[in-house]
Amino acid sequence: MIKWKLVLTTLPLVALVVAAKIVMERGFGLHGWVEFGDVSAVLTAGAFLIGFMLAGTMSDFKESEKLPSELACTLETIEDLISVSACKKGFDAKAARAALLEVTDRAIQWFARKRPVGDVYAAIDGMNPHFQSMDLQGATAHANRSLVFMNTIRRIIGRIEVVSKTGFLDSGYAILEIIVTAIIVLLLASRFKTIVAEYTLITFITLVYVYMLRLIRDIDDPFEYHSDLVRRGAAEVELFPLLDYRERAAARLEHSETQ
């Protein structure tokens, strides 16, 4: 149903526009003041601007699709370095794994809007003592690589935050909203040759333009989730790479504690 959510929530507005046209014609005898063919220039302008805005938001969306996988991969690489360093006496690999799992949990809770991003950064900073211990016990190369990968995690979290909080060209949205509104008004003010063409064109043109405006806004923030990580919109990035890694990491930590 997720893929139909945006369409279904757009239909009431379409029905409202069609109902307004019926009231104008049947209730007030207003059959339009302009020919539908004269509206083509505005329709073309709207299509052009929608294409421009969609291209801009899609570039960020395609990049965002990779971020959960990159985050999970980087976390697992750090876990591998911790595992390799576990043979060093004095290095508490279990505590380091538990701290890394806490980083993962806080990132997931941040996606679910249960924690602020500051808590994620605090958990990342909490890994430093474990890397220092790794260094002091003779695994200097692994400690240095772990620091580099942890910095990569910090950059990924920062990038996700920027994509989520920064909209694509607010001025572009302003003119797009004006054009979509103008198209709807012009459809209501247009004359059509047949009743079938009239209501068919009003229905589908309104649906397409309003749907595309809402879709672009939805794509603009691809990290909107409910507290249970269910997607809020129809165009959210899948988090399963991070969630799957969390399950693997928790299982490995539990296994190491039973040994």
Query: What is the rounded CA–CA span in Å between residue 239 and residue 75?
Result: 14
* Cα→Cα distances 207→132, 178, 215, Å: 59, 16, 12
In the structure, what pLDDT confidence band is assigned to residue 109 with cuts at 50, 70 and 90? very high
What average pLDDT does the chain have? 90
- Give first-to-last CA distance, the chain, whole Å: 45
141-186 residue pLDDT tens: 999 999 999 999 999 999 999 988 887 777 788 888 999 999 999 9
Residue in the block written with tokens 């003592």: 129
Environment class of 47 (CB within 10 Å of its CB; exposed 0-12, middle 13-18, buried 19+):
middle
Q: Which two tokens stand for residue 204?
A: 């589908």
Distance, CA of 43 to CA of 194 (rounded, Å)? 20
pLDDT recorded at residue 256: 75
Q: Which two tokens stand for residue 58?
A: 């899609």
pLDDT-derived band at 119 (thresholds 50, 70, 90) equals very high
The rounded Cα 251 to chain-centroid distance in angstroms is 29
Looking at residue 1, its pLDDT comes to 61
Predicted structure pTM score:
0.84
Higher pLDDT, 143 or 4: 143
pLDDT at residue 245 in the model: 96
**CA max distance for the chain:** 90
Which residues fall within 8 angstroms of residue 155, CB to CB, at 6 or more apart?
A: none
Q: How far is CA 159 from the centre of its chain?
A: 12
Report helix, strand or coil for 126.
Answer: coil
pLDDT tens digits along 211-251:
999 999 888 888 989 888 888 877 889 999 999 999 999 99
Q: Which residues pair with 191 in a beta bridge?
A: 35
Task: Determine contact, residues 13/245, Cβ cutoff 8 Å.
Answer: no
C-alpha 218/C-alpha 256 separation (Å) is: 42
Is it the case that residue 90 has pLDDT exceeding 70? yes
